């Protein structure tokens, strides 16, 4: 398999090692773009973005000797499609460090339509005014519905719109993997 593959890639697209390497690379990119650790805050989007932000902070801690601040942001109540998703929408905790004037990196697992990121930007506004907000994602699967792009991408995965991209992390799911389920598993 290849990153350049133009067609839908079914099955596992990243395994445990792949995720580890991707996160290491993302960590270096984040520090590089920020010009070091100063004022850096990693804000994970609930739920899996939080785990990824924690892992990024740990990796950065290893090679920089200090961990950046991290936080968790739940955007459930900032989504604009509550009625459509109905009962699946259960908010998780939001727990942010001081973000006023900081260089915030929003961290999420999958970038898809961009609506989650828009909601995250709205939500951040309620907590303060960061100097810069950047976006880092583990996977970009395309099909944006809003003018949003990631500053740092772990892996680009071409998908069909109806495919389901599932990021599994040991913190939430007991193991690490990124899986593409064609046609949402309904095929």
Nearer to other proteins, 11 or 36 (CB): 11
Instruction: Tell me which residues touch other proteins (CB under 8 A).
Output: 1, 9-12, 74, 76-80, 82-95, 122-123, 125-128, 166, 168, 172-174, 179, 181, 185
Q: State in angstroms the smallest separation of the CB of 23 from other proteins.
A: 20
Q: Crossing angle of helices 48-64/16-34, nearest 10°?
A: 70
Q: State in angstroms the smallest separation of the CB of 100 from other proteins.
A: 9
Nearer to other proteins, 89 or 146 (CB): 89
Using DSSP, how many helices (H) and how many strands (E) does the chain show? 5, 8
Q: State in angstroms the smallest separation of the CB of 74 from other proteins.
A: 7
Nearer to other proteins, 51 or 60 (CB): 51
> Residue 48: CB partners within 8 Å, gap ≥ 6?
108, 109, 167, 169, 172
Q: Put residue 148 in one of left, alpha, beta given phi > 0 → left and psi -120 to 50 → alpha.
A: beta
Nearer to other proteins, 64 or 127 (CB): 127
CA distance 42 to 137: 12
> Residue 151: CB partners within 8 Å, gap ≥ 6?
33, 105, 134, 135, 136
CA distance 131 to 39: 9
Nearer to other proteins, 32 or 173 (CB): 173
Q: State in angstroms the smallest separation of the CB of 126 from other proteins.
A: 4
Q: State in angstroms the smallest separation of the CB of 31 from other proteins.
A: 29
């Amino acid at each position: 398999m290849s990153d350049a593959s133009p067609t839908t890639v079914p099955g596992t697209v990243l395994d445990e090692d792949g995720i580890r390497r991707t996160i290491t690379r993302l960590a270096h990119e984040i520090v590089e773009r920020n010009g070091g650790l100063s004022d850096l805050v990693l804000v994970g989007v609930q739920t899996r973005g939080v785990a990824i932000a924690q892992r990024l902070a740990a990796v950065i801690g290893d090679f920089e000797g200090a961990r950046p601040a991290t936080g968790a942001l739940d955007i459930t109540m900032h989504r604009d499609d509550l009625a459509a998703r109905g009962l699946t929408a259960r908010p998780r905790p939001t727990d942010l460090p001081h973000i006023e004037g900081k260089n915030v990196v929003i961290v999420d697992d999958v970038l898809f339509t961009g609506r989650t990121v828009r909601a995250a930007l709205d939500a951040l506004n309620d907590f303060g005014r960061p100097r810069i907000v950047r976006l880092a994602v583990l996977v970009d699967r395309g099909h944006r519905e809003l003018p949003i792009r990631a500053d740092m991408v772990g892996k680009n995965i071409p998908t069909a719109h109806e495919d389901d991209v599932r990021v599994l992390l040991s913190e939430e799911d007991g193991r690490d993997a990124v899986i593409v389920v064609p046609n949402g598993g309904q095929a």
